[in-house]
Amino acid sequence: MRYAGSRNFTGRPVPGYDAPECVLVQKAAEALKAAQDDLKSMGLSLKVYDCYRPTMAVAAFVDWSKEPDDRDSKHRYYPNLPKTKLFPDYIATRSGHSRGSTLDVTIVPLASTPSEVDLFKPEVCTSGDRTDNSLDMGTSFDCFDPKANIDTQGLTAKQQENRDLLLEVMRRQGFKNYPKEFWHYTFEPEPYPSTYFDFPILPRTPDGTPSSGDPE
């Protein structure tokens, strides 16, 4: 979960993400499992970057938008847009993630792991991310750029094929893509279409239940 650590466009852990856990409503989680089963038969796997997002995290994104640009963050995540243009097309001031049925996802080869190559070198997102083990989708995750749009022009045949595979696998299980971001999917019909949750994401105990203690 990218927002539980500092490897995201804010450059720091985001409030509400006290553990790197994917939290979803049950129907969305079951559909995601079915999508994973589809891919496993192809020697592939899903990789999830974000799931439920507390509203306190969304508020932190809005606060971040009011801060001066960080040069490395801009270069990596929004090289061609000013911060003012990120809302609401790429970052929502009231996010569907907070309803528990939306997630950010890609595809990776089964049993692969991320690379440590140039982990701290800021690469422009429109060139992809060599440290990530995902299939080549044309951009990296959270690339706030028209190239991340699902119907963008200029992709290679392989990049388009990879996006189409993700789209088809997710659609078969009831997920709808958000056209501005190839990685963004919402399970429909949403069980809680009008509810925006704000509980924090906590570490799991050995029996699988959320902990109420400090994550440290």
Handedness of CA 75, 76, 81, 87 (dihedral sign): negative
Give the span between the Cα atoms of 65 and 57, in whole angstroms: 13
Q: Which of 111, 103, 114, 110 is nearest to 170 (CA)?
A: 103
Give the span between the Cα atoms of 58 and 127, in whole angstroms: 27
Give the span between the Cα atoms of 48 and 152, in whole angstroms: 22
List 30, 168, 181, 216, catalytic entry? 181
How buried is residue 103: exposed, middle or buried, by Cβ count under 10 Å (0-12/13-18/19+)? buried
Q: Check if 181 is active-site.
A: yes
- Residue 149 neighbours by CB distance under 10 Å: 16
Alpha helices in 135-209 (DSSP H): 157-172
Strand partners, 46: 107
Give the span between the Cα atoms of 161 and 155, in whole angstroms: 10
First to last CA, the chain: 17
Which residues are catalytic, by number? 181
